[in-house]
Amino acid sequence: MTEQAIETRCIHGNVTEKNQNENRAVSFPIYQTATFSHITPGHNESGFDYTRESNPTRSRTEEIVASLESADQAIAFSSGMAAISACMELFSPQDNIICSQDLYGGVVRLHNIISRKNGLDISYVDTSNIENIEKAVTPRTRAIYIETPGNPMMCVTDIRLCSRIAKRFGALLIVDNTFLSPYFQNPLKLGADIVIHSGSKFLSGHNDTIAGFVCTNNKEIGEKLRLISKTTGAALSPFDSWLVMRGIKTLSVRMERQQENARKIAEWLLSQKEIATVYYPGLDSKLPEGQMSGTGSMISFETESEAAALAILKNVKLITFAESLGGTETLITYPMVQTHADVPEEVRERIGINARLLRLSVGLENADDIISDLKAALRGKLST
């Protein structure tokens, strides 16, 4: 059977046979159980033993996520950070990992307080210029770890070129695909070895759950990660698995509409005198060919003054001043003090994460209402 379109896979996964689940429930059941019974010693009749290791609801969600990334397998974790931490367990002391400098702040913190203690050597470069990666490679480089578009500066890195370098040096290419979701970008098809998702964002899509996924086509890596998950125990609960599964059903329509809203808002921001710079991949004319089928709904922008940024944060009413992204509600974030507080100040300044930078995750409200809210907030006075 040929692969069905992604809209179909969001709802059904890869359909290879008629829905056979018990009682023929249309919505997949939540198997809220810690353990599974056995009949014969040494046999595992249901295929399930204990929910830390595997659970039918989690397995179904993993199948669907794997189908979206065209992966042989996906492993569900209790958060995006748990998924990333598990990937770091693939490496040994003295291994070097080259990371995008435009990286989720939580990953920088993970490296600062855990990876370094474990002896990993982490280097940060601007991966949007591929030469920087080539220059940073050492004989101990075991992985290139990128986010594209990056967070929060939206730098786009060429996945195919990274994959070529990784292969040449025998390193793994790991791509955090949270910002575009599998709907707009499939890094495994472009040569990545591992794809990571924070399922808390676009996949679940409703700002109501925390989850993470690792997807791969490499059998050996997949088996290692399953063993790490079973051993360290940060697996996704049955109920949260179900919430992600339900959220994914509408992924395609949400991604399209959120992107449409983001385009309108990015263009409006460009025309405002109080806004100095708008960072949105959809405004960039030279994106790597064939890499992404959309530019998503994340926008960062720099205001003319710190006072203007603070006025927006203080005065927005419809838009919520909160961390996170990818959900139905439009959220605005102050990266310098929220998501990227753990990035050293000199690095923040160099990258452009300053007191004037705001990040917007555009939701599903009417775009004109979001614009009106931003307009009123900008014109509103900052009372001190």
Contact 330, 206 (CB under 8 A): no
Site for ligand PLP in 203-232 (CB under 6 A): 210, 212
Contact 151, 120 (CB under 8 A): no
Site for ligand PLP in 60-119 (CB under 6 A): 79-81, 104, 106
Task: Indicate if 201 belongs to the active site.
Answer: yes
Establish if 147 lies at the interface with ligand PLP (CB under 6 A): yes
Contact 162, 154 (CB under 8 A): no
Using the contact rule CB under 6 A, the part of the chain among 7-15, 27-35, 194-202, 309-317 near ligand PLP is 194-202
- Which residue type does 36 have? F
Looking at the Cβ atoms of 15 and 337, the one nearer to ligand PLP is: 337
Looking at the Cβ atoms of 84 and 378, the one nearer to ligand PLP is: 84
Out of 111, 201, 340, 348, the only residue in the binding site for ligand PLP (CB under 6 A) is: 201
User: Which residues on adjacent β-strands are paired with residue 277?
Assistant: 302
Give the separation between CA 106 and CA 81, rounded to whole angstroms.
7
Task: Indicate if 249 belongs to the active site.
Answer: no
Contact 88, 221 (CB under 8 A): no
Using the contact rule CB under 6 A, the part of the chain among 34-42, 196-204, 237-245, 284-292 near ligand PLP is 196-204
Give the separation between CA 46 and CA 70, rounded to whole angstroms.
26
- As to burial, measured by CB atoms within 10 angstroms (0-12 exposed, 13-18 middle, 19+ buried), residue 264 is middle
Looking at the Cβ atoms of 212 and 294, the one nearer to ligand PLP is: 212
Can you give 14-55 as a three-state secondary structure string? Answer: CCCCCCCCHHHCCCCCCCCCCECCCCCCCCCCCCCCECCCCC
Catalytic hit among 121, 158, 176, 373 = 176
Smallest gap, in angstroms, from Cβ of residue 215 to ligand PLP? 14
Looking at the Cβ atoms of 79 and 237, the one nearer to ligand PLP is: 79
Catalytic hit among 104, 145, 279, 334 = 104
Site for ligand PLP in 271-330 (CB under 6 A): 325
User: Which residues on adjacent β-strands are paired with residue 35?
Assistant: 50
Catalytic hit among 9, 58, 60, 201 = 201
Looking at the Cβ atoms of 107 and 308, the one nearer to ligand PLP is: 107
Q: Show the site string, 152-191: x = touches ligand PLP by CB under 6 A, - = not.
A: ------------------------x-xx------------
Residues in CB range of 171: below 8 A, 6 or more apart: 137, 141, 142, 143, 144, 165
Task: Indicate if 158 belongs to the active site.
Answer: no
Smallest gap, in angstroms, from Cβ of residue 197 to ligand PLP? 8
CA angle 62, 151, 360 (to 5 degrees): 95
Structure tokens at 219: 């059998």
Give me the helices (H) in 95-150, please: 105-110, 130-136
Looking at the Cβ atoms of 70 and 151, the one nearer to ligand PLP is: 151
Of the candidates 198, 191, 194, the residue with the CA atom closest to the CA atom of residue 165: 191
Smallest gap, in angstroms, from Cβ of residue 181 to ligand PLP? 11
Looking at the Cβ atoms of 80 and 187, the one nearer to ligand PLP is: 80
Task: Indicate if 219 belongs to the active site.
Answer: no
Contact 377, 312 (CB under 8 A): yes
Q: Show the site string, 18-57: x = touches ligand PLP by CB under 6 A, - = not.
A: ----------------------------------------
Q: Tell me how many residues contact ligand PLP (CB under 6 A).
A: 16
- Which residue type does 234 have? A
Which residues make up the interface to ligand PLP (CB under 6 A)? Answer: 79-81, 104, 106, 147, 151, 176, 178-179, 198, 200-201, 210, 212, 325
Residues annotated as part of the active site:
52, 104, 176, 201
